[in-house]
Structure formats: structure tokens, C-alpha cells
Amino acid sequence: MQTRRLGNSDLHVTPIGFGAWAIGGGGWAFGWGAQDDADSVATIREALDLGINWIDTAAVYGLGHSEEVVAKALEGVANRPFVFTKCARVWDEKGQIGKSLKAESIRRECEASLRRLKVDVIDLYQIHWPEPPEDIEEGWQAVVRLKEEGKIRWAGVSNFDAAQMERVAKFGPITSLQPPYSMVRPEVEQSILPYCLANSIGVIAYSPMASGLLTGAMTRERFAALPADDWRKKGVNKQYQEPLLTRNLNLVERLKAIGGRHGRSPGEVAIAWALRHPAVTGAIVGARRPGQLRELVGAADWRLTHDEASEIQEFLAANPG
């Protein structure tokens, strides 16, 4: 699998990375339902066997559990992948999630992530959300200090807009941005991706398959059968609510037709769509069981034609969100 340089770093990453959100398991506000850790470990190792060379997780995924599972999966692995994680989400003993960009909080979070991941240094440390917004300068300066101290190699942000990146960049260069980006959430194309291109900031797109909606495996019946503690059932993701659900399921039929011309899955079409943008360095692809990634990794080295991308755009224009 080819690699691309991530922003201003010395990290050369594969176009697809392993997303470790869902393997955090259930029982927290944004969980995906119960998850078998043995399946998670096997899936991560399959990802490495397929050539993927980076894993993206966050402290808050499973309230620390995702990072612990990543560490377990990497035990004894000789050719270790890059490990990316995030800060600025904290939780209490009841599992209630809070937001903090205070310097002392970020330092505590980093030390906790280092312990859970069982590493001496984190390859890319990202501010998860720019919240509270009035504290982003303090938070970014704390992350820059962690880099100066050698606790992290590179520093990035997630879910920031262009103005917020501009606010913090004067305290230290931003290596990467992690925004939501998919054909049903293309908003970052307007100002955020151009800002990243102009400032040599790598872009790691998350949810390129819209949290499973564009894989081709999601149906009304499957959605109805999701466990109650799956965050997608809680109404916070409008793409899973009507009238967008019907629009998106019809979009998947279009992706099946396009993919069928090349022997590709709808999920590969969705990932390739995100990777087509010149600002995007890589896309995060989540998986929960062995075998799932084998149907998706082909998107790393395959591109949609101009006509196929236009076909998707014409459908979306005729069926706006």
C-alpha cells in the first residue's frame, strides 16, 4: 500500500488507517454496543497484515478501553504501526463526559493515555474537540509543550474550523486536522480543506462511510435491530433519521452500481470519494470483526473517475440533505 506524508511531519501514512472508536465497546454515551475484545484484537492485527500502518483512537472511546485494547493488540508486534490518540474529553466516576482544554487536564490525559497504550511517546496527539472554545489557545499551547518534552511526536487537532486553526497556529504548527468528511457531510470542502492545503496541514478524514451507513450492509431492518446503547439509535446523527435515511439508502444503491463496474464494494466507493480530494492524506476506517477490512482496503489504491464522482454529485444535488 502506498504512503503519503502527513502534513509537516515525518510520518508517512497509508491512505487508510484503522479507526478504534467502536472497539471501545458499549456502556458509554457514544458507544456502538457490546464488543468482543478478542474480535477487536484480531481485527487490528488483520489491519496490519493488510498493510495499514496507523491506528486512530481516543482516550474517551470506551472511557479508556479502546486505548487498552489497542495496546493489547500490539503486544509482541515487531513492525508497529503509528498510534494516534486524542485529548480534551474527560469523564468522572459515573462515566459522565466533560470537556476540558485546561493545561493541567491535558497533561494528565496525556500521561493516562501513555499508560493505557503502553508506549513512551504518542506518534500524533490531537485535541479532540475545540471545546470550550475560549480555551483552545491554552489547550494548544499545552499540547505544544508536550511535543517539546518528547511525550508526543506530532500535534494535531480534530473538528476545528479554519478560524480556530488560525487562532492556535501562532503558538506552534499544526500537523494535521481530523474532520468529518463524507459524501453526505461535505461541508469542510468550503473553507476548511482549502485552509489545510494552503498551510501544509494533513487531513485525516473520519466517518468517510458515514458511521456505517454507506457500507452497503446497512438496511432499515439492521438499523432497527441495533442495540439501544448504539449511539446511532439515539437521534444525534441526522443521517440516520428521516428523510435523510431514505435518501442515503438510495445513495447506497448508486454506490453499488458504480462499484459493481469495478468489482468494488459501496464502502470502497465511499472511501475513494473522500480520498479523491487533494487535501486529504488519509481516511479512518473502522472495523469490529475480522474480514470487514478486506472488503474495504482496496479503496487505498483505487480512484473514482471524474465521471463517477460527477455522477455522485449529481445525485446529491438532486437529493439535497
Q: Which three cell numbers stand for residue 28?
A: 458509554
120 has pLDDT over 90: yes
The pLDDT tens digits of the residues spanning 231-288 come to 776 666 788 888 888 899 999 999 999 999 999 999 999 999 999 999 999 999 999 9
* Beta carbons within 8 Å of 72's beta carbon, 6+ residues apart: 37, 41
Q: Could you tell me the pLDDT band of residue 137, with boundaries at 50, 70 and 90?
A: very high
300 has pLDDT over 80: yes
Contact assessment for residue 201 and residue 195, using Cβ atoms and an 8 Å cutoff: yes
Residue 181 known to be catalytic? no
54-56 and 82-87 strand pairing: parallel
Q: List domains and CATH numbers for the chain.
A: 11-318 (3.20.20.100)
Residue 228 is predicted with a pLDDT of 76
Residue 160 is predicted with a pLDDT of 98
* Beta carbons within 8 Å of 314's beta carbon, 6+ residues apart: none
Q: Which three cell numbers stand for residue 226?
A: 441495533
> How many other CB atoms sit within 10 Å of the CB of residue 222?
10
For the chain, the farthest-separated pair of C-alpha atoms sits apart, in whole angstroms, at 54
Cα 161–Cα 166–Cα 168 angle in degrees, nearest 5: 100
Residue 297: closest CA among 307, 308, 285, 289: 285
CA dist., res. 173 & res. 185, Å (int): 27
Residue 35 is predicted with a pLDDT of 95
Task: Please identify which of the residues 61, 181, 206, 240 carries the catalytic annotation.
Answer: 61
Work out the average pLDDT over 74-94: 96
The pLDDT tens digits of the residues spanning 187-245 come to 999 999 999 999 999 999 999 999 888 987 777 777 777 777 777 766 667 888 888 88
Contact assessment for residue 111 and residue 152, using Cβ atoms and an 8 Å cutoff: no
> How far are the Cα atoms of 87, 187, 221, 250 from residue 53, in angstroms, in the given order?
22, 28, 35, 33
97-99 and 89-91 strand pairing: antiparallel
Residue 151: closest CA among 188, 191, 124, 185: 124
Angle between helices 162-169 and 136-148 (to 10 degrees): 50
CA dist., res. 32 & res. 121, Å (int): 28
Beta bridge partners of 85: 125
Residue 234 is predicted with a pLDDT of 67
303 phi and psi, to 5 degrees? -130, 145
Q: What is the mean pLDDT of the chain?
A: 94
The three-state DSSP-derived secondary structure of the chain is: CCCEECCCCCCEECCEEEECCHHHCCCCCCCECCCCHHHHHHHHHHHHHCCCCEEECCCCCCCCHHHHHHHHHCCCCCCCCEEEEEECEEECCCCCEEECCCHHHHHHHHHHHHHHHCCCCEEEEEECCCCCHHHHHHHHHHHHHHHHCCCEEEEEEECCCHHHHHHHHCCCCCCEEECECECCECHHHCCHHHHHHHCCCEEEEECCCCCCCCCCCCCHHHHHHCCCCEHHHCCCCHHHCCCHHHHHHHHHHHHHHHHHCCCCCHHHHHHHHHHCCCCEEEEEEECCCCCCHHHCHHHHHCCCCHHHHHHHHHHHHHCCC
Q: What is the pTM of this model?
A: 0.94
Beta bridge partners of 206: 180
Residue 233 is predicted with a pLDDT of 67
